[in-house]
Structure 1
Amino acid sequence: MRLKSKDFVVFEITGDPSGKIIAPMLLIPFVENAFKHGNKAAPSPGIVIKMHCTANLFTFSVKNKKNMSGAKDSLGGIGLTNVKRRLELIYHENYTLDILDNEDNFEITLEIKE
């Protein structure tokens, strides 16, 4: 995939992720959606991915500028539905998933408690 600039995607890790174990492939749909539904012509950064780890909490967020081309993609499709179901099955009440969908941005934040 070609991006407008090399700093279009920002990835930040804070805390110590060593020893953290989460379900395989759990975060991929969030990142894929940012690229699929994001505005690739937006000024940098167009996508911001953050991971924060503490002793008892893993936080992962993805924020992207929305594509304003007029053609509305269906957000919250099968990918996010499947992730929500997996979260329920694996983590029960030990997680929160917040989705912010406003006019300019789409942001998803996942917190998993240990």
Structure 2
Amino acid sequence: MFLIRWPIGRLILLLNFIFSPSAPKRTPQLQKEVDASTAHLSLYQLPACPFCVKTRRAMKRLGLNIELRNINQNEQYREELIREGGKRTVPCLKITNEDQSITWMYESSEIINYLNKFSS
């Protein structure tokens, strides 16, 4: 399986690099406001996962700076995702609500729909 996944993953990363979307042009003050509104978000992901790439591309297209947590490079992130989120599926958006409760969102399309409300 590795012999299939590795080259496909590299191809996905290459195509993502070549055809990377542009971020919107914002004033520094407006970008600072957008960054503050997304500071409570973290995306658990893998670099070559196609659904993670889809989600990261949407984040870039929307100009959102959200913390990326690679679950292969950091065992603590992987353990937290499994322990608190309930499964090792990525992409997963961790949303820390105002009351400090946490919501785990797993579907890339659902995540993108949620992130659309932060673009202005």
Q: What TM-score do the two structures reach when normalised by structure 2?
A: 0.35
Name the one with the larger strand percent: 1
Q: What TM-score do the two structures reach when normalised by structure 1?
A: 0.36
Name the one with the larger helix percent: 2
